Amino acid sequence: MTTIDSTRLLSRSVPFSPPNITEEEIAEVVDSLRSDWITTGPKTRKFEQEFAACVQAPAALAMNSCTAGLHVALATLGVGRGDKVLTTPMTFAASVNVIEHVGATPVLCDVEPDTLNIDPGEIEKKLTPDVEAIVVVHYAGHPVDLDPILEMARAHDIAVVEDAAHAMPAAINGKPIGSHGNLTAFSFYATKNITTCEGGMLTGDPALLERARVLHLHGMSKDAARRYEKGGNWRYDILAPGFKYNMTDVAAAMGRVQLRRMDEFQQRRLEIVARYDEAFSQLPEVEIPTVRDGVQSAHHLYVLRLETERLRISRDDFVLALADLGVTASVHFIPVHVHPFYRDTYGYQPEDFPVAWNAFMRMLSLPLYSRMQDADVEHVVAAVEQVVRGHRR
């Protein structure tokens, strides 16, 4: 185990997940600003094509967030009042909020203890005739066990929507997330594996995405780029009361460069994860994240679970102790069912989803970002070792 003197640890700090932006992104953004087309236009169309090719999706639609993508996905599928939608408590609230937005009722299914992804066995128990869709979340970038879920969905004629906010780039047996034929929403939020500051992408069946394209921009039959192009026409029709969820060309300019750099980003994440795994697997007081055989994780988050019975420190105090040593840790996620709105609306108790609740009480996410230097990684390793050493039973 590395020994470090605390003064060295205290003299520097490691942020949680800053973006990785170079002069290349900046030049592309400036190029968009200098052009006369700053909102949805040619760069957005190119970004959609390049993204679809990258994840082997039949089509893609750029959005101003992943949340917008999930909302439009449910609206496109016609999910609404009187319908139930199965999903996971171990996610960011956005995945569940959109179910409320379309007027449907979320039904939570507990997660699997290793991956913290939705448990297909729990889905099976909660499949009633009023279930219209399942929203799965590839937690921390580890793919959901899609096969049994898609099989149940087919058997019951239910749609599956994938929240792939963490899953770029992830794959199951070499098949990328985004290519499994379901409407799949990716996030380019500031902290995600690739970013456009704010932004998202919806992939899936071209016919469904055509309807999503109408809904994502006011319900208009033609966007501005198509109305103003050569031979275009000012006239349009409103086909549905749609949303305002389009991506700007300024964001797309940044996204295209980030997409080209993704392999470089992923390579670095893999190196950091390997170093963390090596160091923390030596500590019986912590449990390292699992990657199942046959899957490729995007490693969006590095989530440690404390073996609390071996430690004299709570998770909350562990996070504070890391902060004192210059390491910004976080927790992903406060389970949906303990947030006041969901708790009070559906009368949930923390123990209603024991796997998610137990994991939440023990988990913390360590800094993980592609710009992270070896010295930052060693700083985090040393800080975790020091807190564990100081509080072992």
Ligand X SMILES: *Cc1c(COP(=O)(O)O)cnc(C)c1O
CB of 214 to ligand X, least distance (A): 21
Please tell me the count of residues contacting ligand X according to CB under 6 A.
14
Of the candidates 150, 158, 138, the residue with the CA atom closest to the CA atom of residue 92: 138
Could you give the dihedral angle defined by the CA atoms of residues 100, 101, 103 and 108, in that order, rounded to the nearest 10 degrees?
-20
Footprint (CB under 6 A) of ligand X, residues 70-109: 91-92, 94-95
Beta strands in 67-173 (DSSP E): 84-87, 105-108, 131-137, 159-163, 171-172
Residues recorded for the chain: 393
Residues with Cβ within 8 Å of 8's Cβ and at least 6 positions away in sequence, in order, are none
Q: Which residue has the tokens 């639609």?
A: 61
94 touches 66 (CB < 8 A): yes
User: Which positions from 132 through 171 interact with ligand X, judged by CB under 6 A?
Assistant: 137, 163, 165-166
One character per residue 30-69, x = contact with ligand X (rule: CB under 6 A):
-----------------------------------xxx--
Q: How far is CA 203 from CA 180, 251, 253, in A?
A: 10, 18, 19
Pick between residue 94 and residue 150 the one whose CB is nearest to ligand X. Answer: 94
| CB of 184 vs ligand X, minimal distance in Å | 12
Nearer to ligand X, 209 or 336 (CB): 336
Active-site option among 192, 222, 230, 244: 192
Report CA torsion sign: 259, 260, 263, 269: negative
For ligand X, which is the closer residue by CB, 145 or 163?
Answer: 163
172 vs 151: CA distance, rounded Å: 16
* Rounded least distance, CB 252 to ligand X, Å: 15
CB 339, min distance to ligand X, A:
14
Pick the closer one to ligand X by CB: 254 or 388.
254
Q: Is 192 considered catalytic here?
A: yes
**Residue partners of 260: CB distance under 8 A and separation at least 6:** none
Stated as kind and residue range, the H or E segment containing 365 is strand 363-366
Beta carbon of residue 229, minimum distance to ligand X (angstroms, whole number): 29
Closest to ligand X by CB, 162 or 223: 162
Tell me the C-alpha distance between 233 and 168, whole Å.
Answer: 38
Interface with ligand X includes 318 (CB under 6 A)? no
How would you label 87-111 residue by residue, b for 16+ Cβ within 10 Å and e otherwise?
A: bbbbbbbbbbbbbeebebebbbbbb
77 or 94, CB closer to ligand X? 94
User: Shortest gap between Cβ of 199 and ligand X (angstroms)?
Assistant: 7
Residues 250-309 that bind ligand X (CB under 6 A): none
From its phi and psi, is residue 237 left (phi > 0), alpha (psi between -120 and 50) or beta?
A: beta
Q: Which of residues 169-228 bind ligand X (CB under 6 A)?
A: 187, 189, 200
Minimum separation from the CB atom of position 101 to ligand X (A): 12
Q: Are strands 183-187 and 159-163 parallel, antiparallel or unpaired?
A: parallel
Report the interface residues with ligand X, using CB under 6 A: 65-67, 91-92, 94-95, 137, 163, 165-166, 187, 189, 200
Residues forming the active site:
192
